[in-house]
Amino acid sequence: MELWFTENQTSDLRLSFRVKQLLYHRKSAYQEILVVDTYEYGRLLALDGAIQLTEKDEFTYHEMITHVPLYAHPLPESVLIIGGGDGGAVREVVKHREVKSVEMVEIDEEVINVSKRYFPSVSSGLKDKRVSIKIEDGMAYVKGKKKRYDVIIVDSTDPVEIAKVLFEKPFYRNVFYALKDDGIFVAQTESPFCKLDVLKSAYNGIKAVFDRVWVYWGVMPTYPSGMWTYTIGSKRYDVSSPIRECDVSTRYYTPEVHRSAFVLPPFLKEWISTV
């Protein structure tokens, strides 16, 4: 009998993977965690039924959410990652020699444990000496911090339940205060095809706090629609081009990809010009 994992990407859209083996399935204090080995995309991690990563395509997302803000900053020494318990964003951030400290604030310790066990190639960076892991809610952690970080990255689940606060204005305001005077903030802001409402509300929320805001995009085959957006708020720098030479090894990110990610197709550009 064939075994399949299906993600309900919207109420009218599903994506299915033929499964070789079920590796892990348990409920943590916060969410249902599932790891399956699939024929097409290798191992896959889902939280509450939503795909977080697959071995085959995770690099596109993790490289774009990290190297774009880090190469737009002249000296990113202090980095905060909120969410991201799988360790993929950390793995990319620690590739930068300039980085002296990375704090990763993940609410659910079990996601970290599962990633260490089933996704060693994703979680490898968590062992880096510069990394400290806090098991806490990202909103509570960032509140009250002043001018501490060069770059803040929000690698969260969709804006429901525990992650909802990470898509709201009070959180963006706290992030603004936690950044140094030339700091950069980036968040994953979902698919413009399936969740344009989320992108719009995140963009408006970030724009209410940061003077300089951009949306950029990348390919992410196993996320809804395959086209993924990231919204970036910057206190000082124009982030649409890298300002340091690319000196890390990547499979998706290059300086050309960085620049081209900020070139938006008309259907997105027109909407942003009306905001």
Quick one: 9 or 157, whose CB is closer to ligand SAM? 157
Is 155 one of the annotated active-site residues of the chain? yes
Cα–Cα distance, 37 to 23 (Å, whole number): 7
Smallest separation, CB 266 to ligand SAM (Å): 26
Site string for ligand SAM, 230-259 (x = CB under 6 A): ------------------------------
Quick one: 31 or 78, whose CB is closer to ligand SAM? 31
Quick one: 237 or 252, whose CB is closer to ligand SAM? 252
# binding residues, ligand SAM (CB under 6 A): 25
Cα–Cα distance, 102 to 115 (Å, whole number): 18
Cβ(239)–Cβ(202) below 8 Å: no
DSSP codes, 103-144: EEEES-HHHHHHHHHH-HHHHGGGGSTTEEEEES-HHHHHTT
Paired with 140 in beta bridges are: none
List the one residue from 162, 194, 198, 227 that touches ligand SAM (CB under 6 A): 162
Site string for ligand SAM, 21-40 (x = CB under 6 A): ---------x----------
List the one residue from 9, 17, 46, 52 that touches ligand SAM (CB under 6 A): 52
Q: In what order do the strands lie in the sheet with 3-10?
A: 3-10, 13-27, 32-38, 42-47, 50-54
CA angle in degrees (0–180, nearest 5) for 122-125-130: 160
User: 194: closest CA among 163, 161, 228, 166?
Assistant: 228
Scanning 6-14, 73-81, 158-166, 265-273 for contacts with ligand SAM by CB under 6 A, the matching segment is: 158-166
Catalytic: which of 12, 57, 155, 181? 155
Q: What does DSSP assign to residue 66? A: H
Cα–Cα distance, 232 to 100 (Å, whole number): 22
Site string for ligand SAM, 165-204 (x = CB under 6 A): xx---------------------x----------------
Tokens read off for 27: 């409920």
Query: Any contact of residue 138 with ligand SAM (CB under 6 A)?
Result: yes
Site string for ligand SAM, 60-99 (x = CB under 6 A): -x--------------------xxxxx-------------
Cα–Cα distance, 187 to 153 (Å, whole number): 6
Mind telling me the catalytic residues? 155
Give me the residues that bind ligand SAM (CB under 6 A), please: 30, 47, 52, 61, 82-86, 105-108, 111, 137-139, 155-157, 162-163, 165-166, 188
